[in-house]
Amino acid sequence: MALHLKMDERDDCDRLDAMAQKIIGTPIDRPEGALKVAGRARYALDMLPAGACHGVLVRATVAKGKLSSVDKDAVMALPGVRAVIADERLLRNPAQGMAGEAPVQGVSDVAYFGQLVALVVADSFEQARHGAQRLKLTLSSDPDVVVRPDDPAADLESPDDQKSEMGDLGRAMVDAAFSIDETYTTPPHASAAMEPHASIAEWSGEKLTLHGSYQMLPFNRSELADALGIDEGNVRILAPYVGGGFGSKLGISQEAVAAAIAAKELGVPVAVAMSRQQVFEGIMRRSETRQRIRLAAGEDGVLTGIGHEAWVSNLPDETFAEPVTQATPFLYQGAHRLIGQHIARVHRTCAGSVRAPGEAVGLTALEIAMDELAEISGIDPLELRLRNIPDKDPTEGIPFSSNKLSEALKVGAEKFGWSERSGTPGTRREGEWLVGMGMASAARVNMLIESKARVTLTGDGVARIESDMTDIGTGTYAVLSQIAGEMLGLPIDHVDVHLGDTDLPRGSGSGGSFGAASNGTAVFLACEDIRNQLCEKLGCDPESLTLKDGHAISGNQRLPFSEILQGTDLVGEGHVEPGKTEEAVRQATFGSYFAEVGVNAVTGETRLRRMLGVFSAGRILNEKTARSQCLGGMTFGIGMALLEELIHDDRDGHIVNRDLAEYHLPVNADVSGLEVVLLDERDGWANPLHAKGIGELGICGAAASIVNAIHNATGVRVRDLPATLDKVLEGLPPLS
Kindly report the number of other CB atoms within 10 A of residue 391's CB atom. 9
Task: Check if the beta carbon of residue 685 is closer than 8 Å to that of residue 589.
Answer: no
Task: Check if the beta carbon of residue 344 is closer than 8 Å to that of residue 313.
Answer: yes
Q: What is the CATH number of domain 3-41+449-578?
A: 3.30.365.10
Task: Check if the beta carbon of residue 103 is closer than 8 Å to that of residue 252.
Answer: yes
Q: What is the pLDDT of residue 686?
A: 98
State how far the Cα of 364 lies from the Cα of 640, in Å rounded to an integer.
Answer: 9
Task: Check if the beta carbon of residue 604 is closer than 8 Å to that of residue 732.
Answer: yes
The low-confidence residues of the chain, meaning pLDDT below 70, are 1, 736
Question: Could you report the per-residue pLDDT of 231-243, keeping only the tens digit for each?
Answer: 999 999 999 999 9
| Topology of the domain comprising 356-447+585-729 | Aldehyde Oxidoreductase; domain 4 (3.30.365)
Whole-angstrom CA distances from 459 to 418, 529, 545, 565 are 57, 16, 19, 5
State how far the Cα of 363 lies from the Cα of 374, in Å rounded to an integer.
Answer: 16
CATH class name, domain 44-144+198-212+223-229+247-269:
alpha beta
HSE, CB side, 13 Å, CA atoms: give it for residue 240: 14
Residue 21 backbone dihedrals phi, psi, to 5 degrees: -70, -30
Whole-angstrom CA distances from 283 to 136, 160, 184, 275 are 23, 28, 26, 11
- Size of the chain, expressed as the number of residues it contains: 736
Alpha-helix residue ranges (DSSP H) falling in 141-188: 169-175
Q: Which of 14, 224, 113, 30 is nearest to 628 (CA)?
A: 30
- Amino acid letter at 187? P
Whole-angstrom CA distances from 727 to 394, 426, 436, 716, 721 are 36, 16, 17, 9, 9
State how far the Cα of 690 lies from the Cα of 617, in Å rounded to an integer.
Answer: 9
Angle (CA) 185-613-189 rounded to 5° is: 30
* 407 annotated active-site: no
- Answer positive or negative: Cα dihedral of 676, 677, 680, 684: negative
- Amino acid letter at 103? P
Q: Which of 265-302 are b and which e, b meaning 16 or more Cβ less than 10 Å from the residue's Cβ?
A: ebebbbbbbbbeebbbbbbbbbbbbbbbbbbbbeeebe
State how far the Cα of 478 lies from the Cα of 32, in Å rounded to an integer.
Answer: 8
- H/E segment holding residue 81: strand 81-85
For 634-685, strand residue ranges (E) read 674-678
Q: What is the pLDDT of residue 275?
A: 98
481 DSSP 8-state letter: H
Q: What is the pLDDT of residue 736?
A: 65
Residue 113 backbone dihedrals phi, psi, to 5 degrees: -65, 125
Catalytic residue among 318, 573, 681, 696: 696
Question: Could you report the per-residue pLDDT of 469-481, keeping only the tens digit for each?
Answer: 999 999 999 999 9
**Three-state secondary structure call for residue 437:** strand
Task: Check if the beta carbon of residue 89 is closer than 8 Å to that of residue 48.
Answer: no
592 DSSP 8-state letter: E
The residues near 476 (Cβ < 8 Å, ≥ 6 apart) are 469, 470, 497, 499, 510, 515, 516, 519
- Answer positive or negative: Cα dihedral of 90, 94, 97, 101: negative
pTM confidence score: 0.97
Q: Which of 87-114 are b and which e, b meaning 16 or more Cβ less than 10 Å from the residue's Cβ?
A: eebbbbbbbbbbeebebbbebbebbbbb
Residue 164 backbone dihedrals phi, psi, to 5 degrees: -140, 145
Task: Check if the beta carbon of residue 549 is closer than 8 Å to that of residue 595.
Answer: no
Whole-angstrom CA distances from 109 to 63, 83, 120, 565 are 10, 22, 19, 61
Q: Which residues pair with 358 in a beta bridge?
A: none
Q: What is the pLDDT of residue 459?
A: 93
Q: Which of 268, 207, 264, 267 is nearest to 238 (CA)?
A: 207
Whole-angstrom CA distances from 386 to 148, 408, 465, 466, 570 are 40, 10, 44, 45, 52
Whole-angstrom CA distances from 275 to 192, 194, 249, 279 are 12, 12, 15, 6
Whole-angstrom CA distances from 661 to 31, 389, 657, 664 are 33, 42, 8, 7
* Spacing of C-alpha 364 from chain mean position: 16
State how far the Cα of 131 lies from the Cα of 121, in Å rounded to an integer.
Answer: 8
State how far the Cα of 280 lies from the Cα of 112, in Å rounded to an integer.
Answer: 13
Q: Is 3-41+449-578's fold the same as 356-447+585-729's?
A: yes
- Amino acid letter at 262? A
Q: Which of 424, 311, 421 is nearest to 365 (CA)?
A: 311
Domain ranges of the chain: 3-41+449-578, 44-144+198-212+223-229+247-269, 356-447+585-729
Q: Which of 163, 250, 718, 716 is nearest to 472 (CA)?
A: 250
Q: What is the pLDDT of residue 1?
A: 67
